[in-house]
């Protein structure tokens, strides 16, 4: 029975014919085993081509590195008799902070020779085996020195055949311990505050005969100390006594801090500088029994530098830990956990400048740590520092896990003067890394998965960084919307009947038909304070520019003041349409739409004039005349269509907003509210400021009731006959409506009016032959895109609500924009 760590780089060591490959086959999965023969074959088409060895090992080490980076046990099947070859393996293992392990297969030389001779593919002579055996003898003793943390030597074929392997966990692997926990920040000898905090958290203190606390018990919770129990404070021995008792009884876990580390070195008689509060601790310990001091030393030496807890969701280390080091074991992992990473520079107070690793942290596990005193604990990219400087007169803080609630006890006084003032972190997670958004990206956004093509990311990067608002403001972008299935009804490309069918077949029983405003989509963020308020377009651009956006936002803000109170939020995110279309799109209307109209309205009468003169001369041009007359009527219809969306505006005069959904507020996404709720809020805004807000007309339809559908259809016909764009049919249940299998359904389908579509499909699209062609339009891609963007939008709102780090929100918002770069028929 031999034991190896669950994650390790295992080097098999043995001469040719010692049975390494058989051993590997017996104990490991084929994919776990990297054999040098196999890699020689890959490189040179010949497993025995020794001239390919250097390249083969290069490739082998590369693959080993990839496996270890992914946390997979890797076995190297090679003779590993040369020191330089083994040194490479140790290097690869250390590079990925896993333990190198050696298993030596030691068989008699004669047996090895017998096996080798029996193989047709081995053509070297006995002297080679002899030399290998000599190398093996020399190697065995050197393995531990070379850095192999475990060396198992199996002597003789019987021992090898009888071997069983048992996997052992790393000390830091406490994934099976699920809490709930109370994680306590740097105590630094502040025993009184610790006692108060534990009692506040619901622990009962257990005291010894001298009334000194030696344990604390909670019926269901476990405490975790992030280290730095000692130094600077008034009673380091008291804190140690309590924490050591709690750890011994299983009521607490503890990771070491750099101060414990230094104390242990001092107690071991090493020469350390007596600074940073160590003298105080030594003085206090001098009053204690030698046995207690001895137990302190043993306790500190037994501490594990970090823990991975609660199924891998929580990592605790004194100075934090970057993701690549979670659950790994090496000197540098331990050093990071104790001291953090420094840049090598020192600041104006002579203290080392720390590298802000939390700023780069992108892991899914929450990392809880201490080490650097801050006035107020703040989550930074799913990491939090709990050192609130109790010994410097701050407070002692605990984080309750998994609820993430913070509990603090103020220090009774300043016990020690800080070398540098406590400064708040400068929102380091507001900075984004280019790696968060570029390249080909696979994204699991909770409602589905998406792959964003690198070229779409590249296009979105340009829009996002050149034209869009600050990502910290841009918490959401509106998804594109699919039209309803194509209607086969005479003269119609889109019709309510197919819109209702779409929703029915998605399992939706009740819908709301909302008037589709023809303007410009606008997302509005307003807050009580007005700070970071913004209004942005479909692609995240500021709307008109500050000189108009600011006064517009001020009016929205004023109208929302009642809602802030009612919804108990300091800010709201509102989805709306800004009207009229001409306010934002005047240039487009002029160049693309009205120009065509003017040309047609000038050309067709002129042509008709010519044709009428020709007819007056007695020639037959009736057919041509009819075609021109139809064209003329069509261009008039087309001109009327865009003209309905043109209204004069001057500055903000004449500009209105039609809100139709309230997306989110402080700590909450309103995606689960039904549209009745959303529209009621919209109506309130209209009532508050009828000049600024335009109401959204609507019909609620029971999809099981033909009469209800018929009523909505005639409502739509009337709406579109008088210049309305059409309607959007939405599941009544709200934005996050799902089908019976729990999958998101389309948040709405648009059903556009017959006349409106002339500005999309051309003035003459209603001709039967054209309609026939257009009915072959393919909606699949557009629907798929709409659903993906919708899901990502909901994910952005969820992440915003849970206070996720900026990069997590930005990656989905960015992906929405990138998805918009996919080639899809723009008329849909």
Question: Interface residues with other proteins (CB under 8 A)?
Answer: 431-438, 455, 458-459, 461-462, 464-466, 469-470, 582, 589-600, 602-604, 606-607, 609-611, 613-614, 617, 619-621, 624, 627-628, 631, 635, 638-639, 643, 646, 759-765, 769-770, 773, 823-827
- Nearer to other proteins by Cβ, of 44 and 461: the residue is 461
Cα atoms in the Cβ-side hemisphere of radius 13 Å centred on 89: 30
Query: Cα–Cα distances in Å, from 520 out to 55, 338, 351, 597, 691?
Result: 61, 55, 54, 21, 18
Question: In the complex with other proteins, which residue's Cβ is closer, 291 or 616?
Answer: 616
CB atoms within 10 A of CB 295: 16
Contact 19, 105 (CB under 8 A): yes
Residue 279: which residues within 8 A CB-CB, separation 6 or more?
none
Distance of CA 131 to the CA centre of its chain: 55
Residues 6+ apart with CB under 8 A from 436: 362, 807, 810, 811, 814
Shortest separation between residue 822's beta carbon and other proteins, angstroms: 11
Least distance to other proteins, CB of residue 14, Å? 43
Task: Taking the CA atoms of 273, 277, 279 and 284 in sequence, report the sign of the dihedral they define.
Answer: negative
Half-sphere exposure of 306 (CA within 13 A, CB side): 33
* Residue reference for tokens 């909450």: 668
Identity of the residue, 10 or 824, whose beta carbon is nearer to other proteins in the bound complex:
824
What burial class does residue 631 get, using C-beta atoms within 10 Å of its C-beta: 0-12 exposed, 13-18 middle, 19+ buried? Answer: middle
Q: Please provide residue 119's backbone torsions phi and psi, each rounded to the nearest 5 degrees.
A: -90, 130
**CB 701, min distance to other proteins, A:** 31
Q: Which is nearer to other proteins, 514 or 755 (CB)?
A: 755
Closest contact distance (angstroms) between CB of 529 and other proteins is: 17
DSSP assignment of 702-738: ETT-HHHHHHHHHHHHHHHHTT--EEEEEETT-TT-B
The whole-angstrom separation of Cα 344 and Cα 331 is 18
Q: Which two tokens stand for residue 249?
A: 């009884």
Nearer residue to other proteins within complex by CB, 503 or 534: 534
Q: What SS3 class is residue 340?
A: coil
**Is the alpha carbon torsion for 563, 569, 571, 577 positive or negative?**
negative
Of 567 and 607, CB closest to other proteins: 607
Smaller CB distance to other proteins: residue 416 or 581? 581
Q: Going by C-beta distance under 8 Å and a sequence separation of 6 or more, which residues neighbour residue 44?
A: 51, 52, 55, 56
CB closer to other proteins out of 304 and 635: 635
Report the nearest approach of other proteins to the CB of residue 826 (Å). Answer: 5
CB of 284 to other proteins, least distance (A): 41
- Please state the closest distance from residue 32 (CB atom) to other proteins, in A: 32
Q: How far is the CB of 823 from other proteins (least distance, A)?
A: 6
Minimum CB–partner distance for residue 242 and other proteins (Å)? 43
Q: What is the nearest approach in angstroms of other proteins to the Cβ of residue 776?
A: 12
For other proteins, which is the closer residue by CB, 90 or 824? Answer: 824
Cβ proximity to other proteins, 336 vs 765, nearer residue: 765
Residue placing its CB nearer to other proteins in the complex, 233 or 540:
540
* Residues composing the chain: 828
Q: Which of 65, 272, 315, 93 is nearest to 183 (CA)?
A: 315
For other proteins, the closer of residues 183 and 655 by Cβ is 655
Per-residue HEC secondary structure of 477-492 comes to: CCCCCCECCCCCCCCC
Of 327 and 726, which CB lies nearer to other proteins in the complex structure?
Answer: 726
Shortest CB 635 distance to other proteins, Å: 8
Cβ-based nearer residue to other proteins, 126 or 532: 532
What is residue 17's DSSP assignment? T
First to last CA, the chain: 67
* Strand, helix or coil for residue 4: strand
In angstroms, give the least distance from the CB of 456 to other proteins: 11
Name which of 239, 268, 266 is nearest 254 in CA terms. 239
CB of 470 to other proteins, least distance (A): 6
Task: Provide the minimum distance between the beta carbon of 648 and other proteins in the complex, in angstroms, as a whole number.
Answer: 8
- Is residue 408 helix, strand or coil? strand
4: phi then psi, degrees, rounded to nearest 5: -130, 150
> In Å, what is the CA distance from 659 to each residue of 175, 348, 407, 651, 747?
47, 53, 40, 20, 16
Q: How far is the CB of 121 from other proteins (least distance, A)?
A: 41
Cα angle 186, 191, 192; round to 5: 120
Q: Which element (helix H / strand E) includes 585? A: helix 581-588
Question: Do 523 and 573 contact (CB within 8 A), yes or no?
Answer: yes
Nearest distance, CB of residue 481 and other proteins, angstroms = 17
For other proteins, the closer of residues 607 and 700 by Cβ is 607
How far is 172 from 303, CA to CA, in rounded Å? 10
Q: What is the DSSP letter of 746?
A: P
CB 362 within 8 A of CB 142: no
Query: How far apart, in whole angstroms, are the C-alpha atoms of residue 646 and residue 755?
Result: 15
Which residue lies nearer to other proteins by CB, 46 or 825? 825
Nearest in space to 395 (alpha carbons), one of 256, 196, 253: 196
| Beta carbon nearer to other proteins, 39 or 645 | 645
Q: Give CA–CA dist 542/523, Å, rounded.
A: 10
Q: How far is the CB of 230 from other proteins (least distance, A)?
A: 36
Cα separations in angstroms, 29 against 26, 66, 74, 514, 656: 8, 17, 10, 59, 67
What is the nearest approach in angstroms of other proteins to the Cβ of residue 581?
Answer: 12
Q: Which is nearer to other proteins, 487 or 639 (CB)?
A: 639
């Amino acid at each position: 029975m031999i034991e190896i760590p669950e994650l390790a780089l295992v080097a098999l060591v043995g001469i040719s014919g010692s049975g390494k490959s058989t051993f590997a086959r017996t104990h490991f999965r084929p994919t776990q085993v990297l054999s040098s023969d196999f890699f020689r074959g890959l490189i040179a088409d010949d497993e025995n081509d020794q001239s390919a060895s250097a390249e083969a090992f290069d490739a082998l080490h590369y693959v080993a590195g990839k496996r270890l980076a992914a946390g997979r046990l890797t076995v190297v099947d090679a003779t590993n008799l040369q020191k330089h070859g083994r040194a490479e393996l140790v290097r690869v293992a250390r590079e990925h902070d896993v333990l190198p392990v050696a298993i030596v297969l030691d068989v008699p030389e004669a047996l090895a020779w017998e096996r080798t001779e029996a193989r047709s593919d081995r053509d070297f002579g006995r002297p080679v085996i002899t030399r290998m055996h000599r190398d093996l003898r020399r190697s065995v003793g050197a393995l531990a020195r070379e850095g192999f943390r475990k060396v198992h030597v199996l002597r003789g074929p019987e021992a090898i055949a009888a071997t069983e392997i048992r996997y052992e966990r790393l000390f830091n692997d406490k994934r099976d311990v699920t809490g709930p926990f109370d994680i306590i920040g740097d105590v630094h000898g502040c025993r009184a505050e610790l006692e108060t905090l534990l009692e506040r958290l619901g622990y009962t203190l257990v005291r010894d005969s001298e009334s000194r606390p030696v344990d604390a018990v909670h019926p269901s919770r476990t405490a975790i100390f992030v280290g730095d129990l000692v130094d600077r404070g008034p009673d380091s021995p008291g804190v140690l006594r309590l924490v050591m008792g709690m750890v011994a009884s299983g009521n607490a876990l503890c990771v070491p801090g750099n101060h414990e580390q230094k104390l242990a070195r001092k107690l071991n008689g090493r020469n350390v500088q007596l600074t940073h509060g160590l003298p105080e601790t030594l003085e206090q310990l001098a009053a204690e029994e030698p046995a207690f001091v001895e137990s302190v030393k043993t306790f500190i030496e037994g501490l594990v530098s970090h823990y991975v807890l609660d199924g891998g969701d929580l990592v605790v280390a004194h100075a934090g830990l970057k993701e690549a080091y979670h659950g790994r074991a090496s000197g540098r992992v331990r050093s990071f956990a104790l001291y953090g990473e420094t840049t090598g520079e020192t600041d104006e107070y002579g203290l080392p400048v720390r590298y802000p690793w939390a700023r780069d942290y992108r892991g899914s596990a929450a990392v809880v740590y201490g080490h650097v005193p801050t006035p107020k604990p703040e989550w930074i990219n799913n990491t939090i520092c709990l050192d609130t400087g109790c010994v410097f007169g701050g407070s002692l803080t605990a984080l309750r896990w998994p609820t993430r609630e913070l509990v603090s006890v103020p220090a009774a006084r300043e016990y020690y003067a800080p070398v540098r003032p406590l400064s708040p972190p400068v929102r380091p997670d507001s900075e984004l890394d280019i790696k968060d958004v570029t390249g080909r990206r696979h994204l699991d956004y909770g409602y589905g998965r998406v792959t964003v093509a690198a070229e779409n990311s590249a296009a979105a990067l340009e829009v996002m960084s050149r034209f869009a608002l600050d990502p910290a403001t841009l918490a959401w972008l509106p998804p594109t919307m699919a039209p309803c299935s194509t209607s086969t009804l005479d003269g119609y490309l889109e019709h309510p009947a197919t819109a209702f069918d779409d929703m029915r077949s998605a399992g939706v029983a009740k819908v709301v038909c909302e008037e589709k405003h023809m303007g410009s989509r606008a997302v509005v963020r307003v807050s009580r304070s007005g700070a970071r308020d913004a209004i942005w377009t479909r692609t995240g651009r500021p709307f008109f520019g500050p000189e108009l956006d600011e006064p517009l936002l001020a009016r929205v803000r004023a109208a929302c003041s009642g809602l802030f109170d009612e919804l108990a939020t300091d800010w709201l995110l509102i989805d709306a349409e800004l009207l009229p279309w001409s306010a934002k799109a005047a240039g487009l209307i002029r160049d693309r739409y009205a120009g065509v109209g003017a040309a047609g309205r000038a050309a067709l009468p002129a042509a008709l004039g010519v044709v009428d003169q020709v007819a007056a001369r007695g020639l037959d041009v009736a057919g041509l005349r009819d075609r021109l007359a139809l064209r003329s009527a069509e261009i008039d219809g087309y001109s009327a269509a865009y003209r309905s969306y043109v209204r004069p505006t001057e500055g903000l005069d004449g500009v209105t907003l039609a809100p139709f959904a309230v997306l989110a507020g402080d700590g909450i996404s309103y995606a689960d509210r039904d549209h009745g709720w959303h529209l009621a809020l919209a109506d309130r805004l209209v009532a508050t400021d009828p000049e600024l807000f335009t109401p959204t007309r609507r019909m609620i339809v029971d999809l099981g009731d033909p009469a209800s559908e018929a009523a909505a259809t005639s409502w739509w016909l009337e709406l579109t006959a008088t210049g309305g764009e059409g309607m959007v049919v939405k599941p009544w249940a709200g934005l996050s409506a799902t089908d019976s299998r729990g999958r998101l359904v389309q948040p709405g389908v648009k059903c556009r009016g017959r006349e409106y579509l002339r500005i999309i499909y051309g003035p003459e699209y209603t001709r039967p032959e054209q309609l026939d062609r257009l009915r072959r339009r393919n909606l699949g891609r557009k629907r798929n895109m709409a659903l993906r963007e919708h899901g990502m939008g909901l994910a952005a709102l969820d992440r915003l609500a849970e206070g996720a780090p900026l990069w997590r929100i930005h990656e989905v918002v960015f992906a929405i924009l990138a998805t918009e770069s996919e080639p899809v028929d723009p008329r849909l």
